[in-house]
């Protein structure tokens, strides 16, 4: 049993090493310029190990993205993460927004560069266009769930007649990787400043 666990742990660490190496290369060089051979060398594994573990480069990029979004390799959905559960259980709408911005900031600090790789390559690569659209749908599902919880916490209704659907649209815009990259990467805001701005903007847009 101990030997089996050791093999499993070795395989897990090798997998994470390949994910880390490919993530660095995708961010530094872009999708097209990164090859499986380079990923294998950076991870110190054989090329066939990469193919055996992930199948192809697109599946590897998806794994990089999923790991960056989650912050780990555990198969736990965003809505089941402790920060999301705390947010949903929070009775005060303004506090929900602060938790929502904090959760988004934690994700985007890790995932924004990877999301930019996917978005940038999507125009020329149909398989990455599909991955980008899947990510958009997943983000919308999460924000809609949060917005539905928000609507239930605001018995007087949301500002300007917004409902859960339009509140989710606003949250996707304010908390999206494009907005984060513009302000943090391009305009050199700190993540903390972006987080405070995002929470305040959500409150100003959606609370009476």
Cα–Cα dist 102/107, whole Å? 9
The answer on 149 and 111 residing in a single domain is yes
The answer on 84 and 59 residing in a single domain is no
Query: For all residues of the chain together, what is the average pLDDT?
Result: 95
Cα–Cα dist 104/181, whole Å? 13
* Total domains present in the chain: 2
Per-residue pLDDT band for 132 (boundaries 50, 70, 90) equals very high
The answer on 65 and 168 residing in a single domain is no
The answer on 29 and 48 residing in a single domain is yes
Among 35, 56, 72, identify where a domain stops. Answer: 72
Per-residue pLDDT band for 4 (boundaries 50, 70, 90) equals low
Per-residue pLDDT band for 3 (boundaries 50, 70, 90) equals low
Q: For residue 145, how many other CB atoms are within 10 A of its CB?
A: 17
Q: What percent of the chain has pLDDT over 70?
A: 98
Please check the confidence at residue 116 and state whether its pLDDT lies above 60: yes
The H-assigned helical ranges of the chain are: 2-29, 36-43, 47-54, 57-70, 82-89, 93-122, 126-153, 164-174, 177-180, 191-206
The answer on 110 and 7 residing in a single domain is no
The answer on 27 and 96 residing in a single domain is no
Per-residue pLDDT band for 126 (boundaries 50, 70, 90) equals very high
Q: Which pLDDT does position 2 carry in this prediction?
A: 46
Q: For residue 149, how many other CB atoms are within 10 A of its CB?
A: 18
Cα–Cα dist 34/37, whole Å? 9
pTM across the whole model: 0.92
Cβ–Cβ < 8 Å for 50, 40: yes
The answer on 181 and 101 residing in a single domain is yes
Ramachandran region, residue 30 (left: φ > 0; alpha: ψ -120 to 50; beta: rest): left
Cβ–Cβ < 8 Å for 174, 201: yes
**Domain of residue 22, CATH code:** 1.10.357.10
Of 20, 191, 193, the C-alpha closest to 106 is 191
Tokens at 138, concatenated: 């997943």
The answer on 196 and 105 residing in a single domain is yes
Q: Which pLDDT does position 6 carry in this prediction?
A: 83
The answer on 183 and 119 residing in a single domain is yes
The answer on 129 and 30 residing in a single domain is no
Among 45, 72, 99, identify where a domain stops. Answer: 72
Cβ–Cβ < 8 Å for 179, 205: no
Tokens at 101, concatenated: 């911005």
Among 30, 53, 72, identify where a domain stops. Answer: 72
Q: Domain containing 34: what range?
A: 1-72
| Cα separation values, 2 from 12, 72, 112, Å | 15, 24, 39
Lowest mean pLDDT among 5-9, 77-81, 111-115, 192-196: 5-9
**Tens-digit pLDDT profile for residues 81-97:** 999 999 999 999 999 99
């Amino acid at each position: 049993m101990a030997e089996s666990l050791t093999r499993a742990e070795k395989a897990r660490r090798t997998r994470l090493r390949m994910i880390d190496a490919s993530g660095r290369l995708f961010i530094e060089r872009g999708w097209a310029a990164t090859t499986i051979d380079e990923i294998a060398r950076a991870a110190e594994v054989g090329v066939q190990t990469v193919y055996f573990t992930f199948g192809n480069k697109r599946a590897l990029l998806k794994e990089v993205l999923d790991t960056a979004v989650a912050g780990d390799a555990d198969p736990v959905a965003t809505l089941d993460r402790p920060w999301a559960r705390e947010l949903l259980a929070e009775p005060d709408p303004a506090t929900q927004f602060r938790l929502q911005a904090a959760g988004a900031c934690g994700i985007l600090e890790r995932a924004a560069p990877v999301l930019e790789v996917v978005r940038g390559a999507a125009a020329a690569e149909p398989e990455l266009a599909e991955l980008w659209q899947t990510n958009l749908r997943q983000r919308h599902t999460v924000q809609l769930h949060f917005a539905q919880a928000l609507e239930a916490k605001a018995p007087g209704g949301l500002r300007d007649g917004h409902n859960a659907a339009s509140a989710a649209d606003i949250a996707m815009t304010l908390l999206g990787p494009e907005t984060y990259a513009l302000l943090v990467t391009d305009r050199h805001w700190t993540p903390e400043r972006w987080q405070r701005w995002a929470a305040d903007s959500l409150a100003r847009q959606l609370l009476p």
